[in-house]
Amino acid sequence: MSVVKSAAAAEDVIVIENLNKWYGDFHVLRDINLRVKKGERIVICGPSGSGKSTTIRCINRLEEFQEGSLVVDGVEMIDDVKNIESIRRDVGMVFQHFNLFPHLTILENLTLGPIWVQKKPKAEAEAIAMKYLERVKIPDQADKYPGQLSGGQQQRVAIARSLCMNPNIMLFDEPTSALDPEMIKEVLDVMVELAEDGMTMLCVTHEMGFARKVADRVIFMDAGQIVEENEPEEFFNNPQNERTQLFLSQILNH
């Protein structure tokens, strides 16, 4: 395993051991092993269908798995509903298609979790929401509805919505794939800031510039397996595996 840049706290917040998952007969995840330390930033890339989204969706139990073990924040993810809900409160997730709640205003989108899950008073929840809206630089949109915002703004709201729950870990599932080129940067900027603040992040993305800039480790997946993992410089300049070389040549040379 490679050297880790920011091993300030050497505590593993995510431990995945021999994870296997099937959709019916189809073996989607094969012997996944992954340890993530507190504060570590990990970028997962790979061709479509390689299981990268499925892997991070297992971490907050949006997907179930059949074999292996998964420990998040010291809690083993088993079929216990209480466990799952408490883990979900600690793990924020940002989706490719934002998935904001279209019938609620931006502010209501952000305060929903703090009010209903964390049982905070409304005023406090709104103060938290405004703090994070300012952090993603759109406090002036608080009273609009998601449908009135651009894609980039919606994705920043989605990030703020996760942050309002004060998570220890943030999962990003292709956060910029559905955005127009002009809007990718504004979302990546927010993510870079978040990384600089020391958030533990797992990010499925094809933004290789982002990976070089903030990742401690880059993981390459293909056909449900982790093919290669390394720190970004080594990963991009000196990929070991033939499959990785082919993938990188395809996404970097166009």
The residue within the footprint of other proteins, chosen from 3, 9, 117, 127 (CB under 8 A), is: 117
Nearer to other proteins, 147 or 181 (CB): 147
**Does 121 participate in binding other proteins (rule CB under 8 A)?**
no
**Residue 76 is a binding residue for other proteins (CB under 8 A):** no
20 binds other proteins (CB under 8 A): no
What would the 3-class secondary structure string for 31-68 be? EEEEEEECCCEEEEECCCCCCHHHHHHHHCCCCCCCEE
The neighbouring-strand residues paired with 221 are 226
- Contacting residue, 39, 92, 232, 239, with other proteins by CB under 8 A: 92
Measured from the CB atom, the residue of 128 and 211 that comes closer to other proteins is: 128
- Cβ proximity to other proteins: between 147 and 254 the closer is 147
Across the beta sheet with 26-37, the strand order is: 26-37, 12-23, 67-72, 75-76
* Backbone phi and psi for residue 251, each to the nearest 5 degrees, phi listed first: -90, -20
80's CB contacts (< 8 A; 6+ apart) are none
- Residue 179: which of 170, 169, 168, 191 has the closest Cα? 191
72: left (phi over 0), alpha (psi -120 to 50) or beta: beta
Contact flag: residue 202 with other proteins (CB under 8 A): no
CB 193 within 8 A of CB 214: no
Binding of residue 99 to other proteins (CB under 8 A)? yes
Nearest approach, Cβ of 105 to other proteins (angstroms)? 8
Applying CB under 8 A, the site for other proteins has a residue count of 30
* N residues, the chain: 254
Considering only 67-75, 110-118, 192-200, 239-247, which stretch makes contact with other proteins by CB under 8 A?
A: 110-118
By CB under 8 A, name the one of 97, 127, 209, 240 that touches other proteins. Answer: 97
Site residues for other proteins per CB under 8 A? 60-62, 85-86, 88-89, 91-93, 95, 97, 99-103, 112-113, 116-117, 144-148, 158, 161-162, 165
